[in-house]
Homo-oligomer: A and B are copies of this chain.
Amino acid sequence: MDNLEIIGQNAKEASYALAKLSADDKNKVLKKAAKALVENKDKIIKANEEDLAKAKENGIKGALLDRLTLNEKRIKSIAEGLEQIAQLEDPIGEVISMWKRPNGITIGKKRVPIGVIGIIYEARPNVTVDVFGLCLKSGNASILRGGKEAINSNIALVEILQDVLKECEVPKEAIQLIKDTNRETAVKLMKLNKYLDLLIPRGGAGLIQAVIQNSTVPVIETGVGNCHIYVDESGDINKAVAITLNAKTSRPGVCNAAESLLVHKDIADKFLPKMYEKFKEMNVEVRGDERVKEIIPEVINATDDDWSTEYLDYIIAVKVVDSVDEAISHINTYGTKHSEAIVTENYSNAQKFLDEVDAAAVYVNASTRFTDGFEFGFGAEIGISTQKLHARGPMGLKELTSTKYVIYGDGQIRE
C-alpha cells in the first residue's frame, strides 16, 4: 500500500533540490536517462510483455493495446524525446520583468518551478518518461499515477530513471510512481493539497472529468476538442477543401481534429459538393442539417447531439449558417474552447472571428491540427489546456513554471 503522505513529503523535499539544479545538471540527467533506457531495453520489454499478456487476457485490443506496447524502436524514440528536452532552453531563473519603486525597492518577477506536479494518465507508458523529462527540465518533482494495465512497464521505467537520478546525485524522488492503481489511491492523490501544487490529467474525457470533480488540488483541464471549421462566404474554396480535409482526416483520433463544419449559405452550393467528393474518397461519414441535405440529399440527418460530439473518428457534422455571427455563436455554444478556424478572404470577418471566438487557438486560413507544442515551436508538450487559468493552449516547459517576486531593499519600511 502506497503511503501518499510519505510520497508527498519526499516529492516536496526533492522539489527543493531540483529547484537549485543548473541547466547543465538537468541536461546531464536527461542524457544519461536516454542512454539508460536504451541500455535497459530488455528489462523494459520484459515488463511490458507481462502487461501485454494480462491486457490480452482482459480483452484489450486495437488502439489501446497498441498504445500500451513498447518495443525496441519505441524505446529508442522515447529516449530521443529526452535528448530533445535536453536541447531546449531552461525556463527557470528568467527574470521576466524588473522595476524600481519610488521608495527605492527593486522588484523582480522571476520564473521558478511550480514544485510538485501530479499526473494521472492512462495505459501509455511513453507518458511516464515524457512527464519525467518535462518536469525535471522545468525543475519540478513529479508523482505519477498511470493506468493499471501499464503498471509493470511503468515500474521498470521508473526504476531505471531513479537509478540514473541516484547516479547523478539528484534525489530519486524527483520522480515517483504510485503503485496502487486502485481508484481510492487516485482520489487520495487528488486531495494531497499539502504537497501537490498542480495535478494534470492526461487522457479521455471521462478521466479528465473525474479529476475535475474530485480534486481539491489545482487542476489544469486538458484535451477535449470539439473543433470547427467555418467556411465564410468569401472563403477560397480550394483552401477551404484542403483545410477541412486536413483538419478532419489527417489524424481523426486527436483533440485538434475538426468535428464540425459550418458553411455560409452563399458559398454552400459551390463548396459543399466539392467537399463532399473528398469526404467520400476518405470514407468520412457526413451528418448534415436540413440545408445541407437540400444540396446533398444523401447525407445523414444531423441531430442536436451531433453539434456537441467529439467523434474522434471519420465522421463530421455539417451545418449551413446565415452569417459569421451565427457561426461564432454556434462555436461559442457547442465548442470546447480548444481550436477553431475560419476560411475567409474578408478582412473584417477574419478579425471578428479572431476576436469573438472563445477558444485557446483561433485560426484564419489554416488547419486546427497545428495546435500542438511542437508545431507552435515550443519543442515539447505536456498537454493542451482548454481552461483559462495559468496556461491556455499547448503547454511546453514555460507552462510548467510559476513566478516569484524577489525584492531588493536597503532598509525600507511601509509608512
Contacts and interface: CB of A to CB of B under 8 A. Distances in A.
A359 interface: yes
A409 B363 contact: yes
Contact of A367 (B219, B236, B360, B412): B412
Contacts of A407: 361-364, 366, 370
Interface stretch (A120-128, A173-181, A389-397): A389-397
A193 interface: yes
Which range holds the interface residue count of chain A?
A: 35 or more
A213 interface: yes
* Most chain B CB inside 10 Å of its own CB: which residue of A220, A406, A410: A406
Interface in A83-119: 99, 101, 105, 107, 114-115
A101 B390 contact: no
B389 A114 contact: yes
A389 B242 contact: no
A1 interface: no
A404 interface: yes
A411 B366 contact: yes
Interface string A6-23: 000000000010011000
Contacts of A303: none
B389 A218 contact: yes
B332 A389 contact: no
Interface in A166-214: 193, 197-198, 212-213
Q: Assembly of this chain: how many copies?
A: 2
A369 interface: yes
Interface in A330-372: 332, 354-356, 358-367, 369-371
Nearest to A371: B405
B405 A362 contact: yes
A99 B375 CA distance: 12
Nearest to A247: B413
A277 to B, nearest CB: 17
A243 interface: yes
A304 B100 CA distance: 39
Interface string A51-75: 0000000000000000000000000
A392 B402 contact: yes
B20 A370 contact: no
A20 to B, nearest CB: 7
A359 B404 contact: yes
A257 to B, nearest CB: 10
Contacts of A390: 389-390
A280 interface: no
A77 interface: no
Nearest to A246: B413
A362 B410 contact: no
30 contacts: A20-B355, A20-B356, A105-B366, A114-B388, A197-B387, A197-B388, A198-B389, A213-B216, A218-B388, A242-B411, A243-B413, A246-B413, A247-B413, A354-B406, A360-B404, A360-B405, A361-B405, A362-B407, A365-B409, A365-B410, A366-B408, A366-B410, A366-B411, A367-B409, A367-B413, A370-B414, A388-B402, A389-B402, A392-B403, A393-B404
Report, nearest first, the 8 A-B pairs whose CB atoms are least far apart.
A366-B409, A246-B413, A388-B402, A369-B414, A239-B411, A390-B390, A361-B405, A389-B390
Given A366-B408, A367-B412, 10 more contacts: A16-B356, A19-B356, A20-B356, A99-B377, A101-B376, A114-B388, A198-B388, A366-B413, A367-B413, A389-B389
